[in-house]
C-alpha cells in the first residue's frame, strides 16, 4: 500500500493517490489529468476509483476528464446529485482497492454531501482519514457555503457539522493520520495550519473546533468571524456538479498566439479583460492600457476568481514568453475556461510596434517616508487581520477582495497612497483603479513590509471611524 499527497500550494489543496496490488484510487484530483495518467503508467497500476469528498467551491476537480480517460467510476457520498454518471455511496459503504479498503463516512455540515474516506490496511486497521473539507488541521470546514442550496442557516449547518465530527470522527483512533482537503491560505476555512498532515489524536488536542464544551459553543466558534466567500465559489460548485468542457479543448483555445492587432481586435469584439500576468514591477513600468495585473508568481488563480468572479468572462493574456501554458492551466483550475489567446512575444511585441502604453505611478518606500504626513490618505488593501495587527497611523483599510464595493468611495481630487504587504495586491488594485479612471494615487513599492522599517508612524489601534470605512 502506498499513500501519496499531491499538494498544490497556490490553491492550498491536497489531492491523494493510493495504490495497492496494482490498483489505484485518486481523491479530489485537480483539473489537469496528465500528471495522474503519467503516475498510473509509471507505477503500472489501474485506476479503480475516483473519490470526491464533495462538490468543491474553490477549484474545479479533474474527476470528469480523469473518468473519461480511464473509465474509472466517480464516487460521491450520500445525498450527492451530480448531473453525470457516478456511484452515490451509502454511509458506511466499503470499497475494495487491492488488499486495502476505503470506507465512506458521511459527514454533512460543510455541504450536505460532504464525506470523509477512511482507509483500512490489509489487516483491517484504520490508518488514514481523507477528511476533505469536513476537518482541516487546526480548523473545520466553513458551514456557510451550502446555505442557498439547502435553505438552512449557517448555524443549522454548523450544528450538523458538530454531529458529524463529534459522533463519527472523534471516536476514531488517535493514531489515524488526517489528510485534509486544504491547508493554510485556503478560503474554505479561517484558522488552518501550514502543516498538511497530522494525527487525529493531536488534532483532538489542538484544534479549537474539536475542544468546544457544547454544541452551542461549537456553533458560535465556527461561525464567528467568517468572511464572505469569494464570488467565484458558486460558479465552481455548478461546474463540479453539472460538468464542464474538456481541459484539452480549453487549452487548445487558450493557447492561441495573437499579434498585438489580433489581441486588440479580440478585446474589442468580445469585451474581453486583458489580464497581465507579469510581475508587478514590470507591469508598473509599462502595460497595455486598461489591462489589469495579477501576477503568475503568487496566488494567481484565487485572485483572478476573487476579482473577476464570473468564470465565463472572456480573457486575453499578457505573459512572459513560455509561461502561457501555466497561466491557462491555473486559470482552468478555478473554472476560467474562456481564455481567447495570449499576446505572442509578450509585452515587448506590443511595445515594439509603438502602441499606446500605460504605467503605474509607483514610488519607493523612501519617497513615501519623505512625503508622508499625518494628513496623508493611505489606503491599505491587506486583509483586516493584517491591518489590525499593525498599520500606518490613520490609514484606511480597504481589503482588495472587496474592491468592487469600495473603489467609488476613494477621493477624486486628492492624491492618496496605496499599499499592501509587499506589492502584489496593491498592483492588482492599481490596475483595476486605473482601468476605471482613478489615477490620483501613488503605489508604494515593497508595501507594509518595507514601510515598517521606516520612521512612518504605525499602530495596532483601529479607531471607530476607520472601522466604519472598511
Q: Which helix (H) or strand (E) holds 348?
A: helix 346-352
- The C-alpha cell 499513500 sits at 3
Q: How many other C-beta atoms can be found within 10 angstroms of the C-beta atom of residue 124?
A: 8
Check residue 138 and give its pLDDT: 97
The conformation of residue 166, written as its DSSP 8-state character, comes to I
Domain 2-234 has CATH 3.20.20.120: no
Residue percentage of the chain with pLDDT more than 90: 93
227 or 354: which carries more pLDDT confidence?
354
pLDDT at 469 over 80: no
pLDDT band for position 346 (cuts 50, 70, 90): very high
What pLDDT score does 465 carry? Answer: 47
Would you say residue 285 has pLDDT above 60? yes
pLDDT attached to residue 204: 98
Identify the pLDDT of residue 189. 84
DSSP letter string, 181-227: SB-TT-TT-SS--S-S-EEHHHHHHH-GGGG-SSHHHHHHHHHTTPP
- Tell me, rounded to whole angstroms, the distance of Cα 338 from its chain centroid: 18
Does the global pTM surpass 0.75? Answer: yes
Please say whether the structural domain 362-468 has been given the CATH code 3.40.250.10: yes
Contacting residues for 216 by C-beta, under 8 A, at least 6 apart: none
Q: At 346, phi and psi to the nearest 5?
A: 70, -165
Rounded to the nearest angstrom, the gap between the alpha carbon of residue 433 and the centroid of all alpha carbons in its chain is 23
pLDDT of residue 227: 85
Confidence of residue 463 (pLDDT cuts 50, 70, 90): low
CB pairs under 8 A, 24+ apart, for 219-222? 219/155, 219/158, 219/159, 219/162, 222/140, 222/142, 222/143, 222/158, 222/161
The Cα–Cα gap between 63 and 327 comes to 21
Kindly state the average pLDDT of the residues 429-458. 97
Domain(s) labelled CATH 3.40.250.10 in the chain stretch across 246-352, 362-468
Its CATH architecture, for the domain 246-352, is 3-Layer(aba) Sandwich (3.40)
Coil, strand or helix at 39: helix
In this prediction, residues 116-138 reach a mean pLDDT of: 98
Confidence (pLDDT) at 467: 42
How many Å apart are CA 355 and CA 334, to the nearest integer? 32
Rounded (5°) CA angle 34-77-193? 70
Instruction: Name residue 458's beta-bridge partners.
Output: 392
Numbered ranges of CATH 3.60.15.10 in the chain: 2-234
Q: How high does pLDDT run on average in the chain? A: 95
Give, for 101, the enclosing helix (H) or strand (E): strand 100-106
- Cα(139)–Cα(145) distance, rounded to whole angstroms? 16
Has residue 466 got a pLDDT over 70? no
List the one residue out of 5, 1, 55, 42 whose CA is nearest residue 23. Answer: 1
Task: Tell me the pLDDT tens digit for each residue of 179-212.
Answer: 999 999 888 888 899 999 999 999 999 999 999 9
User: Which of 314, 331, 470, 325 has its CA nearest to residue 399?
Assistant: 470
* 3-state class percentages of the chain: helix first, strand second, coil last, to nearest 5: 35, 20, 45
Amino acid at each position: 500500500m502506498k499513500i501519496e499527497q499531491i499538494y498544490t500550494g497556490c490553491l492550498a489543496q491536497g489531492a491523494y493517490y493510493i495504490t495497492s496490488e496494482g490498483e489505484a484510487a485518486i481523491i479530489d484530483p485537480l483539473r489537469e489529468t496528465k500528471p495522474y495518467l503519467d503516475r498510473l503508467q509509471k507505477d503500472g497500476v489501474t485506476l479503480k476509483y475516483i473519490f470526491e469528498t464533495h462538490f468543491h467551491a474553490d477549484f474545479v476537480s479533474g474527476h470528469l476528464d480523469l473518468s473519461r480517460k480511464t473509465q474509472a467510476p466517480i464516487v460521491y457520498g450520500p445525498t450527492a446529485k451530480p448531473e453525470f454518471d457516478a456511484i452515490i455511496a451509502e454511509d458506511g459503504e466499503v470499497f475494495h482497492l487491492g488488499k486495502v479498503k476505503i470506507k465512506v463516512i458521511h459527514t454533512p455540515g460543510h455541504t450536505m454531501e460532504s464525506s470523509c474516506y477512511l482507509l483500512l490496511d490489509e489487516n483491517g486497521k484504520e490508518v488514514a482519514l481523507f477528511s476533505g473539507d469536513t476537518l482541516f488541521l487546526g480548523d473545520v470546514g466553513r458551514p456557510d457555503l451550502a446555505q442557498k442550496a439547502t435553505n438552512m442557516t449557517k448555524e443549522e449547518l454548523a450544528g450538523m457539522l458538530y454531529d458529524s465530527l463529534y459522533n463519527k470522527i472523534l471516536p476514531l483512533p488517535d493514531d489515524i493520520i488526517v489528510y485534509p482537503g486544504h491547508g493554510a491560505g485556503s478560503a474554505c476555512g479561517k484558522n488552518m495550519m501550514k502543516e498538511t498532515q497530522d494525527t487525529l489524536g493531536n488534532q483532538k488536542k489542538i484544534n479549537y473546533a474539536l475542544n468546544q464544551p457544547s454544541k452551542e459553543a461549537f456553533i458560535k466558534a465556527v461561525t464567528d468571524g467568517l468572511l464572505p466567500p469569494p464570488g467565484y465559489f458558486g460558479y465552481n460548485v455548478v461546474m463540479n456538479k453539472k460538468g464542464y468542457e474538456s481541459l484539452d479543448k480549453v487549452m487548445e483555445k487558450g493557447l492561441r498566439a495573437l499579434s498585438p492587432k489580433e489581441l486588440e481586435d479580440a478585446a474589442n469584439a468580445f469585451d474581453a479583460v486583458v489580464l497581465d500576468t507579469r510581475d508587478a514591477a514590470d507591469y508598473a513600468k509599462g502595460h497595455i492600457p486598461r489591462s489589469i495585473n495579477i501576477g503568475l508568481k503568487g496566488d494567481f488563480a484565487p485572485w483572478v476568481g476573487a476579482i473577476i468572479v464570473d468564470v465565463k468572462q472572456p480573457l486575453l493574456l499578457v505573459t512572459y514568453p513560455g509561461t502561457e501554458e501555466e497561466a491557462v492551466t491555473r486559470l482552468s483550475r478555478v473554472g476560467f475556461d474562456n481564455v481567447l489567446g495570449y499576446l505572442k512575444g509578450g509585452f515587448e511585441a506590443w511595445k515594439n510596434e509603438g502602441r499606446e502604453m500605460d504605467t503605474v505611478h509607483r514610488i519607493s518606500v523612501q519617497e513615501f517616508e519623505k512625503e508622508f504626513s499625518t494628513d496623508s490618505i493611505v489606503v491599505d488593501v491587506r486583509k483586516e487581520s493584517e491591518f489590525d495587527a499593525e498599520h500606518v497611523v490613520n490609514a484606511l483599510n480597504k481589503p482588495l477582495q472587496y474592491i468592487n464595493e469600495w473603489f467609488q468611495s476613494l477621493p477624486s481630487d486628492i492624491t492618496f497612497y496605496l499599499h499592501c504587504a509587499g506589492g502584489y495586491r496593491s498592483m492588482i488594485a492599481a490596475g483595476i483603479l486605473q482601468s476605471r479612471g482613478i489615477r490620483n494615487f501613488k503605489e508604494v513599492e515593497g508595501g507594509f513590509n518595507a514601510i515598517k522599517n521606516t520612521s512612518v508612524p504605525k499602530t495596532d489601534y483601529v479607531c471607530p471611524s476607520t472601522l466604519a470605512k472598511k
